[in-house]
Amino acid sequence: MTDGTPSGHCGSPEHFSRRTLLQGTLGAGALWLTHVAERLALADERSRGRKAPRSVIVLWLNGGPSQLETFDPHPGTWIGGETRAIDTPVKGLRIGSGLARTAEWMDRLAVIRSVTSKEGDHERATYNMKTGFRPDPTLVHPSIGAVLCHQKRDDVEIPRHVSILPGPWPARGGYLGDEYDAFRMGDPANPIPDVRRRVPQERFRRRVDDLLNVVEPAFARGRLQDLDRHTLHQHSFRAALRMMSSEQLAAFDVSKEPASVRAAFGDTPFGRGCLAAVRLIGVGVRCVEVTLSGWDSHANNHSAQHARLETLDPAMSALIRELHERELFDDTLILCAGEFGRTPRINDAGGRDHWPHGFSVVLGGGRIRGGVVYGETNANPSRDEHDPLKDVALPRPVEDIHATIYRALEIDYEKELQTPIGRPMTFSKGTPIGEILEEA
């Protein structure tokens, strides 16, 4: 059903289990056996005692990227379309031809090709993928970045949760509180608005004092039953002032990077966003979401998807390389995903429609086993789509992606919290995908 990589297993020798090694290589010769055993020992040594990643970078592909043009191509089949597949360093793992630079790093990434969802609408599916829950009219669930910032406290002077080029539904704090919403910004080529004083320091200080003299008495006169909730403005005010004077603000300024580094990411807002993400993670930001929109290809699918890949490929590959070179890769978990995939069937307009029944998500970085392909989709599915999951091996619901991420981050995703409305909730109801995790 796939291009040769076993479902739920990795393609590179150092990731095979010892049982698989003994079963498959007894007759292969002592020299080869010794070589692979040495690589297994090295992999064990690398992963032993490995700390949990401290940060997350989300590459959000808004609109629904096609798995068949990206990480699950089926060339030469009736569903394959015009996309060709290219080799990667992982034996048997081939990805779409529009990802030539990213292909070089697939031994550091894991592909889950069997993600499933019950949401086929953009807004609802985005909510589902960003929170791990389906929309609920009584509650707003927190996104991955909000959960991470809530559970891992630190003293960064700039926002710990950042959304660059946010789409219409950016990451939210949900029931954890608005203070965990992502700080939203546009193209990093532009300065961040409203963080530089426009008047001398002394005049600025007087204005701050005057403002507080108006605000605080108003709060004091109110009948406040929940003091903590009603003094959040003080926390936000202090955080804003600290940010304005912080040297960490320089992390947003990608112009400080050498021209060669900027060029590798691509001269695009998304490329600059990915470079900013690396810089922000480097100063302690917990989660950066960078959005690349334009994947909704109901017509002219092949050209539309490949136009987006021309932006994604250099930026994603450069992000992985820079994280490695700055020794941040093991400290960072990378998630590359959209809200759903695209239909196997190509419609009359040459497009692919919404498809939540078996699409691809990519993970990499801290505690994610590189070179792994989990699950598979049928290269020759039935043209009758009334039971689409029959063409997916090892299906995994969206909540399992969240559980896997939280397990890697050492967040107790089953811990029960009381929401403001008194409803007990956990961070995820999923099950981690153990096959792609390197446990501590």
Question: Where are the chain's structural domains?
Answer: 9-18+51-191+253-436
pLDDT at residue 45 greater than cutoff 50: no
Please state the rounded mean pLDDT for residues 52-72: 98
The answer to whether 147 touches 273, Cβ cutoff 8 Å, is: no
Q: Which helix (H) or strand (E) holds 212?
A: helix 201-221
What's the pLDDT at 167? Answer: 92
Task: Say if CB 77 and CB 86 are below 8 A apart.
Answer: no
**pLDDT confidence bin for 386, thresholds 50/70/90:** confident
Cβ atoms of 410 and 55 within 8 Å: the answer is no
pLDDT the model gives residue 31: 45
pLDDT band at 192 (very low <50, low <70, confident <90, very high): confident
Q: How far, in Å, CA of 92 to CA of 89, rounded?
A: 9
Structure tokens at 162: 């950042």
Q: Which residue has the tokens 């605080």?
A: 216
Q: Residue 151: name the closest of 185, 124, 180 by CA.
A: 180
Please, is 260 exposed, middle or buried when counting C-beta atoms within 10 Å of its C-beta (0-12, 13-18, 19+)?
A: exposed
Q: Which two tokens stand for residue 419?
A: 């929401």
pTM of the model: 0.84
Q: Which residue has the higher pLDDT, 264 or 194?
A: 264
Pairing outcome for strands 287-293 and 9-10 = unpaired
Q: What is the pLDDT of residue 123?
A: 98
Mean pLDDT of 326-339: 98
pLDDT above 50 for 268? yes
261: phi then psi, degrees, rounded to nearest 5: -70, -45
What angle, 0 to 180 degrees and rounded to 10, lies between the N-to-C axes of helices 201-221 and 232-244?
170
- Amino acid present at 21: L
pLDDT at 143 over 90: yes
What CATH number was assigned to the domain covering residues 9-18+51-191+253-436? 3.40.720.10
Mean pLDDT over residues 78-107, rounded? Answer: 97
What's the CA gap between 343 and 66, in Å, rounded? 8
DSSP structural state of residue 267: S
Contact criterion met (CB below 8 Å) for 219 and 234: no
For 54, the 3-state DSSP assignment is: coil
**In sequence order, what DSSP letters do the residues of 150-211 get, joined into one string?**
HHS----SS-SEEEES--SS----GGG-GGGSPEEE--TTSPPTT-S-SS-HHHHHHHHHHH
Distance, CA of 376 to CA of 187 (rounded, Å)? 36
Rounded CA gap, 393 and 169, in Å?
31
Region 216-235: what's the mean pLDDT?
53
